[in-house]
Structure 1
Amino acid sequence: MCTLNIMDRRIVLVRAVNVGGTAKLPMAQWRELAESLGASDVATYIASGNLVCTIPGDHHGFDRALESAVEERFGFFREVISRSPQQVSAALTNHPFDVVEPKFSYVTFLAGVPTADAIAAARKVPTGEDRWEVVGAEMHIRYAEGAGRAQMKDAAIGRALGVAGTARNLNTVRKLVELAAC
């Protein structure tokens, strides 16, 4: 049963898990960790580190506590980045590219806002037909032929931006907004 308090509802994303076998984070245990830190109405969506929950207190503190809990329990550190449902919905609305195929369009939720100098440095990374744009604390991406056939070097752009981030395609982002509404 959802005891929705919209002010405390969060979409919580953990970076780089269950991809390539290097950092396994079973979703049942991810939910348990969140609950052990006081979260309620906890749900996960697909096995890529997506969690929707109602959190107790400050979201920055909750995110850092989850990072510590993951590191303690699983032996690896991964950044946790969360947003309110309204912020995630706004990221969808602010997507600057035409969406021909939602699975080719992504939002990278950043841990902070990159500086203008960092964005300028990232612009030097070749992208081919792929496109990206930073809007606030999100980087929006449109892959010409899908993420699996990316022409741009996401990791190089991320390093240049100097801010950790985690990407989700628009299908996943929409589903997370739906789940957050209970």
Structure 2
Amino acid sequence: MTTYAAFLRAVNVGGTGKLPMAELRAMCESIGFSNVRTYIASGNVVFESKLPERSVKAKLEACLATYAGKPVGVLVRTGAELAAVLAGNPFGSAAPNRTVAIFLDAPPPADTLDRVSGQQTEEIVLGAREIYVHYGEGMAHSKLNIPAAKTGTARNMNTVAKLVEWTAA
């Protein structure tokens, strides 16, 4: 069995995409995942499966599309991959609530940094299948636009650390 963390895009954000976490857990169990746990109401779920990552993603996205009546993006990492994201955080000394990993399905394109707009004091570093961003002055007034992140989803380092703890347990 492999322990995975899945991150849903646009769930319980801004009053749209409502999905009670109890229903997300039930969905995951209905498609054969075990030891399912959700973390905060923003679409974070940890579970075990014998399936490879691609199959986990496909099954979860299909189930969510049936529920929501539209596609719901899901980004998946194994526990080991998630631990590597946390260990690879280039802003480890910065406030974890002001640093995010934007999870992607594939490595960020080579021109990612060239295509960024609206950057002020934010710092950006590319990872394996992530984009790390440190919002030194917070996200509230940021105008940062990263086109390569359009299909990804961000989680702050507090959330990543908690899910690393859960996937290691």
**How many equivalent pairs are there?**
169
Letter in 2 for 1:36: S
30, 33, 42: which is aligned to 2:36? Answer: 42
Residue in 1 that maps onto 2:121: 129
Distance 1:146 1:31 in 2: 31
TM-score by length of 2: 0.92
Matched, 1:164 2:151: yes
Residue in 2 that maps onto 1:14: 8
Matched, 1:27 2:14: no
Where does structure 2 lack aligned partners over 5 or more consecutive residues? none
How far the C-alpha of 1:75 sits from its partner, in A, is: 1.8
Residues 37 and 62, structure 1, Cα contact 8 Å, conserved in 2? no
Distance 2:163 2:10 in 1: 17
Q: Percent identity?
A: 36
Letter in 1 for 2:152: G
43, 59, 66: which is aligned to 1:65? Answer: 59
Distance 1:105 1:60 in 2: 27
The 4+ residue runs of structure 1 with deviation greater than 3 A are: none
How far the C-alpha of 1:163 sits from its partner, in A, is: 6.1
Matched, 1:94 2:88: yes
Letter in 1 for 2:136: A
Distance 2:126 2:26 in 1: 33
Residues 108 and 127, structure 2, Cα contact 8 Å, conserved in 1? no
Distance 1:112 1:50 in 2: 19
Distance 2:74 2:149 in 1: 16
Distance 1:104 1:10 in 2: 25
Distance 1:151 1:130 in 2: 10
Matched, 1:112 2:106: yes
Where does structure 1 lack aligned partners over 5 or more consecutive residues? none
How far the C-alpha of 1:40 sits from its partner, in A, is: 0.3
Query: What's the secondary structure of 2:140's corresponding residue?
Result: helix
Residue in 2 that maps onto 1:143: 135
Letter in 2 for 1:79: G
56, 72, 75: which is aligned to 1:78? Answer: 72
Residues 108 and 130, structure 2, Cα contact 8 Å, conserved in 1? no
How far the C-alpha of 1:15 sits from its partner, in A, is: 0.9
How far the C-alpha of 1:94 sits from its partner, in A, is: 1.1
Distance 1:9 1:133 in 2: 27
How far the C-alpha of 1:112 sits from its partner, in A, is: 0.9
Matched, 1:179 2:166: yes
TM-score by length of 1: 0.86
